[in-house]
Amino acid sequence: MQNWMQNSDFLRELVITIAREGLEDKYNLQLNPEWRMMKNRPFMGSISQQNIRSEQRPRIQELGDLYTPAPGRAESGPEKPHLNLWLEAPDLLLAEIDLPKLDGALGLSLEIGENRLVMGGPQQLYHLDAYIPLQINSHESKAAFHRKRKQLMVAMPLLPVPS
C-alpha cells in the first residue's frame, strides 16, 4: 500500500486531507491547510518508547476465595457485606462494598494492606476481612461512599509484579 501511495500524489493528498479534517472535527480546532511532505525525515520530534506485551492476559481473572473469617468471631456478630471486585486496568483493582443499612460514611473504618482489605461499620453493623491475591499499593488507594447506591467504592492501584 505504501508504494502506490508514494507514487500517487492524488491519493497521498486525499489521505492527508481526510486525516486533517478528522482531527479538526474531533478536537474542534483549525489546522493550517498548507502542509509539506518531508523527503529525508519520516517524522519530527522524538519517538517515545513503546511497551508491547508478549503474552496476552485474560480479560477476566479469577481471584479465588476472597473471604477469610476472622478467628474466634461469633456467628451472631456483625454482618459480612457483599464485596464485588474487578480489574479496571492491568494495574487498577476496583471494589464495591454494599452497605444497605448505612446512609453515609460516618463511622466506617477501612484498612488496606498489600494484599488485604479490612472494613468495619459503625456500631458493629458490618465487618469485612478480604484477602486479595494481588499486591496493592495501599498508599495510593482511595475510597468514596456513594449515598444513592449505599456502596463504598474503593480504587486500589496495584504494585508492579517483579519479573
Between 19 and 69, residue with greater pLDDT = 19
9-28 pLDDT per residue, tens: 788 888 888 988 999 998 89
Model confidence, pTM: 0.54
What is the band of 114 on the pLDDT scale with cuts at 50, 70, 90? confident
DSSP letter for each residue of 80-125: ---EEEEEEETTEEEEEEE-TT-SSSTT-EEEE-SSEEEEE-GGG-
Q: Which residues of 12-48 are buried (b: 16+ CB within 10 A; e: fewer)?
A: eeeeeeeeeeeeeeeeeeeeeeeeeeeeeeeeeeeee
Question: What is the structure's pLDDT at 107?
Answer: 87
